[in-house]
Structure 1
């Protein structure tokens, strides 16, 4: 089975607005997810945000500190671990990806308004393409939706 690697280019809404929507779509499909952040502080901030991002939604998730990592449908980490045996891995805030062969899908979200993040995304695109993975590129629309560009 080949791994699909998706690049999501944030332009008009921040990660905090876009990520929960994508995670909810994964849960609707009964996919287990791990979200890897670039720093422990960002992991803690996203953990807090996902509890309160929408008064009408509940997004079940946890971190190492919460325990029961193997039972979490969405697991947040700043490391390369995968204790919930997720098949989908999100990489945010320029997180360094682990080997992607263990996943069905890897989603790399990057801030298009940050020149360094944009440069890192381009370099990762080239590296992942050289490894032979199937790649798609999605650009955020003005309304916060996504348009496939490649």
Structure 2
């Protein structure tokens, strides 16, 4: 069974944190699904991944989805991916955490709605028995603040 890693973004924006995490996942040899609720956010992330370091990836719905090392979309299923990344409040399930090596939930630390949504996800997932870690940024470094 995998684990959920919650990333509370305060020092670095999503556009900088996501490529760093994706790079680590790719170094581990993992395929990654990046799931969001907002197509506009995913399009911005798509542009960032092409322009800031050229991380090979694709947007879901293309002819080569099965070949993409990183696939972004609003409806990307977790099947076939070792890691699922939730951005912009996309939900993840207990089953997805059980099937993946890791599920990462990235949320904006300055958005009260995003904070409340992440708190709700933490409670639901840990109550269901999922392993979870909560990471926060302090002075540009990631520190593990909680683990279940």
Structure 1 length-normalised TM: 0.89
Structure-2 change in CA distance of 1:5 and 1:82 (3 Å):
closer
Aligned residue pairs, count: 144
- 4+ residue runs of structure 1 moved beyond 6 angstroms? none
* Counterpart pick for 1:96 among 67, 91, 95: 91
Q: Any gaps of 5 or more consecutive residues in structure 2?
A: none
Deviations 1:40-77, CA, capped at 9 Å, x for gaps: 22112211111012xxx331100125431001111101
> In proportion to residue count, which structure has more strand?
2
User: Who is 1:108 aligned against?
Assistant: 105
Deviations 1:102-134, CA, capped at 9 Å, x for gaps: 212100000110011001110110000011011
Instruction: Give me the whole-angstrom Cα distance separating, in 2, the residues matched to 1:133 and 1:65.
Output: 30
Is 1:87 aligned with 2:86?
A: no
Instruction: Give me the whole-angstrom Cα distance separating, in 2, the residues matched to 1:81 and 1:132.
Output: 22
Structure 2 length-normalised TM: 0.90
Q: Any gaps of 5 or more consecutive residues in structure 1?
A: none
Report 1:52-131 matches (<5 A). 52-53=51-52, 57-82=53-78, 85-98=80-93, 99-100=95-96, 101-131=98-128
Q: What SS class does the counterpart of residue 104 from structure 2 fall into?
A: strand
Q: CA deviation at 1:80?
A: 4.0
Q: What SS class does the counterpart of residue 136 from structure 1 fall into?
A: strand
RMSD (Å) for aligned C-alpha atoms: 1.4
